[in-house]
Chain A
Amino acid sequence: MADTLLEIDDLGISFDVSAPWLTRLLTGAGKLSLKAVDGISFSIERGQTFALVGESGCGKSTLARLVVGLYRPSAGRIAIDGIDLAGLKTRAQLAPVRRRVQMIFQDPYASLNPRWRVRDIVAEPIRTHRLLPNEGAIRARVDELLRQVSLTPADGDKFPHAFSGGQRQRISIARALASEPEFLVLDEPTSALDVSVQAQILNLMKDLQRRLGLTYLFISHNLAVICHVSDRVGVMYLGRLVELAETAELFGRPRHPYTRLLLDTVPDIDMTGRARQPIIGEVPNPIDPPPGCAFHPRCPFANDRCRSERPELKPDGGSLAACHAVEERRLPDYAG
């Protein structure tokens, strides 16, 4: 059996977005809830990179926060290395799992405390989890961590403002690695960076993965970045997975019409003269998603079944796709 590190089963979370109680009382409006993540299942093998891609508002960041335990799911189950997170109620029970799972955020300007020296920022997980016995050992470990991300021990005495965006992201990575985690959740780790710096960070992430045997959940809206880093990809639309496949399969033979349209919108840097097919319309309001398949108002292949019956993820070749047209073999072959 393959070695599964993360397993997510039928995961969902709803947020209450109702108007204030008094307003509801006066206007007679009901409660409103927003299903940010709905019925998502997937698993990640140890040492692999699983990527989630989707447009803003599709729930990919919410999913990341669920996985690291920043939100409590309203449905479904998350298990890390066989340990069900729902079974861990107290801080003390959660702590060992938290040590093994770390997160890196998008904005390296907001995720580092500006009043702390870099050395203390990086040492925080070590102190929180009481991983090393004394200050001397912590100091040596922080120096090693800084070197690992191509900074110098002398950088530890500076404050975050002395660093550029790319260097700050390196500090975030050093901090995430401090508790010797096995699993990193990366939420748009390079979206705030310039392309040449992005290349440095992506190369660093790959090197670290190989050296430390890390497992990544990588979240991005940038398909080219996803194609470069991931082993498997899940495509999200309005809180649900619409396609799940090996990276080469997803980019070579995308099944779901949304995935195909997303791929068509990637700017054509090779200048092959390929005509770009812009997706019509915009992502609908998640408070009031369309009935049936949520993508049907924008889908060129939608029919009556798509408008009324919600498709489930079903296998098609090596991929999983949630699409009636794929299941009924109504889709033309993809001409990428």
Chain B
Amino acid sequence: MTAPLLEVSHLSIALPTRRGLLTAVDDVSFEIGAGEVLGVVGESGAGKSITAAAIIGLLEPPLRQSGGEIRLEGERIDNLPFEALRRIRGKRIGAIFQDPLTSLNPLYTIGRQLTETIRTHLPLSERAAAARALELLQEVGIPAARERISAYPHHFSGGMRQRVVIALALAANPRLIIADEPTTALDVSTQAQIISLLKRLCRDHGTAVMLVTHDMGVIAETADRVAVMYAGRVVEIGPVRDVVKAPQHPYTIGLMGSIPAIGHQLERLRQIDGAMPRLDAIPEGCAFNPRCPQVFGRCRTDRPDLLPAGVTRAACWLQEKGRHG
């Protein structure tokens, strides 16, 4: 079997503080195949964005990788020097962030930002790069792209800016795009446009996507597989249909139940009491145990690894005990 496009194994990320070393991401492993969309979902502080930042080598100090490996097409990339990593970023891994305004330089026209990105990564002349830039803008659905290529970011609306950011991410035809909350800052109607655009482009280009979001709806629509994160760990991973329809981990079950849905009118939503623990107060054993309705002895002492749970894998002792349900 050939190596997967992206392979993250036993990744740990530490946050040094005055009161000691905290673990922001704890022993996270997953793979993304070529052309596959992996959704990473979790609530704020679950470690999903930090995991994404580590893959593109943009961990903000004092955060640092404290263990594990990240491999792109079989080649280890987490220990590369800054310059080598800079060449991978954009060329082989594209990135889309939440806020399209801060991803673009307000002082340059979008045409210049695109041609600069293209020429940094591809051996093209100025003229050829400009032609490619125009092509990209048309592809992401900017109306009157020929005129607007010389416009500045502030001339564009939020949705149009995010289209430009997608064009930038695709500029060098990367094999993988890391999209961190790409639609969170947008209105619902624009969000639907951007999601379907991202889906279409990645299918056409055969680009794999790691889609980080807190919105299970976006994941359900877009991803092939989904990893659910809680307190720095992956608690469940599997095909999106199975995780959404028949979640195995009690946290995933609670999370799915707490999402209000149109069509099924309930008097009360299922709620998970309490909140995700802070990094300095992650309980012993399974991090979810104080909130778990099915907690038993072992959960309070031993930390579960991902165990096979039907079609998915869940980090839950219930799977071993086989008394789930």
Footprint of B on A, CB under 8 Å?
A: 55-56, 164-167, 194-200, 202-203, 206, 221-225, 227-228, 248, 251, 261-271, 276, 278-280, 282-283
From known contacts A194-B44, A203-B268, A228-B269, infer whether A282 and B262 are also in contact, taking CB-CB under 8 Å: no
Would you call B271 and A282 a contact (CB within 8 A)? no
Write out the residue numbers on chain B whose beta carbons fall within 8 Å of the beta carbon of A282.
157, 159-160, 189-190
Q: Is B17 on the interface with A (CB-CB < 8 A)?
A: no
B interface size (C-beta, 8 A):
45
Q: Is B266 on the interface with A (CB-CB < 8 A)?
A: yes
Footprint of A on B, CB under 8 Å?
A: 43-44, 157, 159-160, 187-193, 195-196, 214-218, 220-221, 240-241, 244-245, 254-255, 257-263, 265-273, 275-276
Would you call B260 and A227 a contact (CB within 8 A)? yes
From known contacts A195-B214, A196-B271, infer whether A202 and B189 are also in contact, taking CB-CB under 8 Å: no
By beta carbon, the residue of chain B nearest A285 is B157
Would you call A267 and B220 a contact (CB within 8 A)? yes
Would you call B267 and A206 a contact (CB within 8 A)? yes
Write out the residue numbers on chain A whose beta carbons fall within 8 Å of the beta carbon of B43.
194-197
Would you call B262 and A267 a contact (CB within 8 A)? no
Would you call B258 and A267 a contact (CB within 8 A)? no
By beta carbon, the residue of chain A nearest B278 is A164
Would you call B189 and A196 a contact (CB within 8 A)? no
Can you list 14 A-B pairs, Cβ within 8 angstroms, ordered by A? A55-B188, A55-B189, A165-B44, A195-B214, A195-B216, A195-B258, A197-B43, A199-B269, A203-B269, A206-B267, A223-B262, A228-B260, A266-B262, A278-B196
Complex Cα–Cα for A98 and B220 (A): 44
**Nearest CB of chain A from residue B188's CB, rounded to whole Å:** 5
**Nearest CB of chain A from residue B43's CB, rounded to whole Å:** 4
By beta carbon, the residue of chain A nearest B216 is A269
Complex Cα–Cα for A287 and B258 (A): 39
By beta carbon, the residue of chain A nearest B42 is A194
Write out the residue numbers on chain B whose beta carbons fall within 8 Å of the beta carbon of A271.
220-221, 240-241, 244-245
Would you call B192 and A265 a contact (CB within 8 A)? yes
Tell me whether chain A's interface is mostly helix, strand or loop, or mixed: helix
Complex Cα–Cα for A197 and B276 (A): 10
Would you call B187 and A283 a contact (CB within 8 A)? yes
Complex Cα–Cα for A196 and B189 (A): 24
Q: Which of B193, B214, B269, B273 sits near A278, CB closer than 8 Å?
A: B193
By beta carbon, the residue of chain A nearest B218 is A267
**Nearest CB of chain A from residue B183's CB, rounded to whole Å:** 10
Complex Cα–Cα for A56 and B254 (A): 30
Write out the residue numbers on chain A whose beta carbons fall within 8 Å of the beta carbon of B258.
195-196, 198-199
Would you call B255 and A195 a contact (CB within 8 A)? yes
Complex Cα–Cα for A222 and B217 (A): 12
Write out the residue numbers on chain B whose beta carbons fall within 8 Å of the beta carbon of A261.
189
By beta carbon, the residue of chain A nearest B291 is A196
Complex Cα–Cα for A289 and B133 (A): 32
Complex Cα–Cα for A252 and B266 (A): 16
Write out the residue numbers on chain B whose beta carbons fall within 8 Å of the beta carbon of A195.
43, 214, 216, 255, 258-259
Would you call A221 and B190 a contact (CB within 8 A)? no
**Nearest CB of chain A from residue B140's CB, rounded to whole Å:** 14
By beta carbon, the residue of chain B nearest A280 is B193
Write out the residue numbers on chain B whose beta carbons fall within 8 Å of the beta carbon of A223.
188, 262
**Nearest CB of chain A from residue B236's CB, rounded to whole Å:** 15
Complex Cα–Cα for A264 and B241 (A): 20
Would you call A279 and B189 a contact (CB within 8 A)? yes
Would you call B275 and A202 a contact (CB within 8 A)? no
Complex Cα–Cα for A269 and B187 (A): 18
Would you call A166 and B275 a contact (CB within 8 A)? yes
From known contacts A166-B275, A224-B262, A225-B260, infer whether A276 and B269 are also in contact, taking CB-CB under 8 Å: no
Would you call A279 and B275 a contact (CB within 8 A)? no
**Nearest CB of chain B from residue A204's CB, rounded to whole Å:** 9
Q: Which of A200, A222, A227, A279 sits near B271, CB closer than 8 Å?
A: A200
**Nearest CB of chain B from residue A237's CB, rounded to whole Å:** 11
Would you call A265 and B188 a contact (CB within 8 A)? yes
Complex Cα–Cα for A267 and B216 (A): 9
**Nearest CB of chain B from residue A106's CB, rounded to whole Å:** 14
Complex Cα–Cα for A228 and B272 (A): 17
Complex Cα–Cα for A206 and B271 (A): 13
By beta carbon, the residue of chain A nearest B244 is A271
From known contacts A203-B271, A268-B217, infer whether A227 and B189 are also in contact, taking CB-CB under 8 Å: no
7 A-B pairs closest in CB distance: A267-B217, A199-B258, A194-B43, A228-B260, A265-B192, A199-B269, A278-B192
**Nearest CB of chain B from residue A235's CB, rounded to whole Å:** 12
From known contacts A196-B43, A206-B268, infer whether A268 and B189 are also in contact, taking CB-CB under 8 Å: no
By beta carbon, the residue of chain B nearest A228 is B260
Q: Which of B190, B214, B218, B240 sits near A194, CB closer than 8 Å?
A: B214
From known contacts A196-B255, A227-B260, A276-B192, infer whether A266 and B217 are also in contact, taking CB-CB under 8 Å: yes
Write out the residue numbers on chain A whose beta carbons fall within 8 Å of the beta carbon of B275.
164, 166-167, 196-197
Would you call B196 and A202 a contact (CB within 8 A)? no
Complex Cα–Cα for A203 and B215 (A): 20
Would you call B271 and A251 a contact (CB within 8 A)? no
Write out the residue numbers on chain B whose beta carbons fall within 8 Å of the beta carbon of A262.
188-189
By beta carbon, the residue of chain A nearest B197 is A278
Complex Cα–Cα for A227 and B196 (A): 24
Complex Cα–Cα for A282 and B159 (A): 8
Would you call B268 and A269 a contact (CB within 8 A)? no
Complex Cα–Cα for A322 and B267 (A): 31
**Nearest CB of chain A from residue B194's CB, rounded to whole Å:** 9
Write out the residue numbers on chain A whose beta carbons fall within 8 Å of the beta carbon of B267.
206
